[in-house]
Amino acid sequence: IISVREEEEENGSGQRDDVLYVERSRQYRWRCAEVTFACSDEAVCQHWVNNIRELLATNTSRPKHLLVYINPYGGKRQGKRIYEQKVAPLFTLAGISTSVIVTEYANHARDHLRTAAELEKFDGVVCVGGDGMFSEIIHGLIWRTQIDCGVDPNCPEEALSPCSLRIGIIPAGSTDCICFATVGTNDPVTSALHIIVGDSQALDVSSVHHNNMFLRYSVSLLGYGFYGDVLTDSERKRWMGPARYDFSGLKMFLTHHCYEGTVSYLPAGGIIGTPRDATKCRSGCVICQHNGQLLSERTEKYEMDEWRTIRGKFLAINAASMSCACPRSPKGLSPAAHLADGTIDLILVRKCSRFNFLRHLLRHTSKDDQFDLTFIEVHRVRRFRFTPRHCQSDSDLELDLQENGKRQIFSQICKDHPACGCAPAYSSWNCDGEILTHTAIDVRVHCQLIKLFARGIEELPVFEDLTNPCAI
Ligand SMILES: CCCCCCCCCCCCC/C=C/[C@@H](O)[C@H](COP(=O)(O)O)NC(=O)CCCCC
Ligand SMILES: Nc1ncnc2c1ncn2[C@@H]1O[C@H](COP(=O)(O)OP(=O)(O)O)[C@@H](O)[C@H]1O
Ligand SMILES: [Ca+2]
């Protein structure tokens, strides 16, 4: 139930109660529906209304005061309109009061959250925008929580303190992968209703460091190579709106750059689940519960796991903290990744032909397994490091030379691209849609560090689930 309102019957024959409630629609969408109860005895009617209102008021998981940040610049620049026309009226109906800030520049929301007075009077923060805007919100909230708790965010070894305020996402960006992968759809009304009913979904956060210096947090994709290059190229074409990703995606596919470097990772030992599982992370996921519990009890196990190292040439290095499902790829980059299990799926796409890379990419949009290819490796990890070849230590480079024969260190990249002879040695990291300035990074997962107003993707009813044989 969202709310209840009473009205006199027009002919004076008693009272009417209109109850607004959430109804499930197709493909994970929720809608607001209304049912009317009428009674000739006004006292009885009033009794219903009072009881419903009392139940709603005593429900502590529902937010009553929200701090809303709107990015008017993201996606198709519709954030303000989406909020005012589709979301604000629902919040009003649900009796939620709001403080709304329309951002005026990049990092406005992040900086505001870092210093905002009386944050404790709010029951949550609402982010109207895309993944970049969500990233601003978590940077503000996580930073503030660590400073308040005396945790040094620059130290990669420190355990971070969880944030108490829940975050709601109203999708108004270009990809909106975080919303899609946690709700199942990018629909502002559905997201508003998840906020109103007070849903809660824990989310892992990865911290990214470079030489003991904090760089960024990530909750969805950290991508070097293909996705880093797509992002860098697409930022120059922001005027195209969300279509910039399709243009830059095609361009980077044709460019076909590969990058050399070393990936080291700490496998996620002792947990249940693998990146090749057929089961997916869904509402109330038992794998997230089990692994989350395990991590909170057995931190020493994590230290006992052994680091592994892979050197090579890669078209893409993708670290998915969640499935990264989005409208372009409804199953995502790593379909079996979990929202809150304390792990990242590390996907290595080794150098291969354009044709093979296309096969891999196309499988993101079909039922075929994108990992079932000889040039793809996927590992479930707790931590990983990447060093591009030109940042490797002298001894590492010496080792490479021995392995690869006597060729000149700095010519190998152009050798991979004889046509242009000037391919770049470095890519950049795409960190939830923001470009990272450093290429050598150290990434660590912090299990269930933040909470969203969401419940994870719900199981579809059998008749809607086209992957289910009973539906056909
Ligand atoms: C030839 C067919 C190719 C099909 C490829 C489909 C693969 C798509 C996987 C997309 C994964 C996206 C992961 C999400 C990243 C977002 O965080 C990021 C920023 O989002 P936003 O702030 O809302 O704009 N989006 C991207 O990096 C876009 C990647 C697009 C790649 C084509
Ligand atoms: N008022 C603003 N003006 C310019 N940039 C902004 C503003 N508010 C937020 N940003 C920045 O806009 C960028 C893109 O935002 P995002 O919501 O992710 O949209 P998109 O999905 O289109 O990339 C982010 O880097 C964010 O920090
Ligand atoms: Ca995860």
| pLDDT tens for each residue of 356-383 | 999 999 999 999 999 999 999 999 999 9
Beta carbon of 177 within 6 Å of any ligand 1 atom: yes
pLDDT of 304 > 80? The answer is no
pLDDT band for position 9 (50/70/90)?
A: confident
Which atom of ligand 2 lies at the shortest distance from residue 176's CA? 21
Residues above pLDDT 90, as percent of the chain: 80
The residue nearest atom 25 of ligand 1, judged by CA position, is 433
Question: What pLDDT, on the 0 to 100 scale, is given for residue 398?
Answer: 55
* 428, 439 contact by CB (below 8 A): yes
The residue nearest atom 24 of ligand 1, judged by CA position, is 174
pLDDT of 469 > 90? The answer is no
Question: What pLDDT, on the 0 to 100 scale, is given for residue 413?
Answer: 40
Q: How far apart are CA 157 and CA 212, in angstroms?
A: 9
Beta carbon of 273 within 6 Å of any ligand 2 atom: no
Beta carbon of 326 within 6 Å of any ligand 1 atom: yes
Question: What pLDDT, on the 0 to 100 scale, is given for residue 461?
Answer: 74
pLDDT of 47 > 50? The answer is yes
Domain extent listing, the chain: 1-59, 66-200+453-472, 213-273+308-442
Count of Cβ atoms closer than 10 Å to residue 433 Cβ? 27
Q: Matching CATH topology for 66-200+453-472 and 213-273+308-442?
A: no
Predicted model pTM: 0.91
Beta carbon of 105 within 6 Å of any ligand 2 atom: yes
Span 395-430, pLDDT tens digits: 554 555 455 444 443 334 444 444 444 567 899 999
Span 98-125, pLDDT tens digits: 999 999 999 999 999 999 988 999 999 9
Question: Per-residue pLDDT averaged across 127-153, rounded?
Answer: 96
Question: What pLDDT, on the 0 to 100 scale, is given for residue 297?
Answer: 75
Q: Is the dihedral of CA 129, 131, 136, 142 positive or negative?
A: positive
Domain with residues 213-273+308-442, CATH architecture: Sandwich (2.60)
Helix/strand number for the chain, H first, E second: 14, 17
The pairing of strands 376-388 and 441-452 is: antiparallel
Which atom of ligand 2 lies at the shortest distance from residue 102's CA? 1
Question: What pLDDT, on the 0 to 100 scale, is given for residue 42?
Answer: 86
pLDDT band for position 11 (50/70/90)?
A: confident
> Ligand 3 centre from 381 Cα, in Å?
9
Residue to mutate (ligand 1; options 127, 137, 175; most atoms within 8 A of CB): 175
Question: What pLDDT, on the 0 to 100 scale, is given for residue 75?
Answer: 92
What DSSP state is assigned to residue 219? S
Residue 390 carries which side chain, given as an amino acid letter? Answer: H
Q: How far apart are CA 134 and CA 454, in angstroms?
A: 14
Q: Which of 122-131, 206-215, 232-241, 418-427 has the lowest mean pLDDT?
A: 418-427
The residue nearest atom 27 of ligand 2, judged by CA position, is 106
> Ligand 1 centre from 246 Cα, in Å?
9
Question: Per-residue pLDDT averaged across 330-357, rounded?
Answer: 98
Token pair of 51 as six digits:
């009881």
Catalytic choice (17, 131, 187, 204): 131
Homologous superfamily, domain 66-200+453-472: Probable inorganic polyphosphate/atp-NAD kinase; domain 1 (3.40.50.10330)
Question: What pLDDT, on the 0 to 100 scale, is given for residue 423?
Answer: 66
Beta carbon of 123 within 6 Å of any ligand 1 atom: no
Whether 131 is catalytic:
yes
Question: What pLDDT, on the 0 to 100 scale, is given for residue 422?
Answer: 52
Question: What pLDDT, on the 0 to 100 scale, is given for residue 350?
Answer: 98
Which atom of ligand 2 lies at the shortest distance from residue 136's CA? 27
Q: What is the ipTM of this complex?
A: 0.96
Q: How far apart are CA 468 and CA 175, in angstroms?
A: 27
> Ligand 1 centre from 175 Cα, in Å?
6
Question: Per-residue pLDDT averaged across 157-162, rounded?
Answer: 94
Q: How far apart are CA 184 and CA 178, in angstroms?
A: 10
pLDDT of 151 > 80? The answer is yes
> Ligand 1 centre from 430 Cα, in Å?
10
Based on the number of CB atoms within 10 Å of its own CB, is 415 exposed (0-12), middle (13-18) or buried (19 or more)?
A: exposed
Question: Rounded mean pLDDT of the chain?
Answer: 91
Beta carbon of 73 within 6 Å of any ligand 2 atom: yes
Question: Per-residue pLDDT averaged across 281-295, rounded?
Answer: 94
Q: How far apart are CA 105 and CA 225, in angstroms?
A: 28
- From first CA to last CA, the distance across the chain in angstroms is 33
> Ligand 3 centre from 344 Cα, in Å?
5
Q: Which ligand is nearest to the CA of 349?
A: 1
Question: What pLDDT, on the 0 to 100 scale, is given for residue 202?
Answer: 98
Among candidate residues 86, 98, 95, the one with its CA nearest the CA of residue 32: 86
> Ligand 2 centre from 188 Cα, in Å?
18
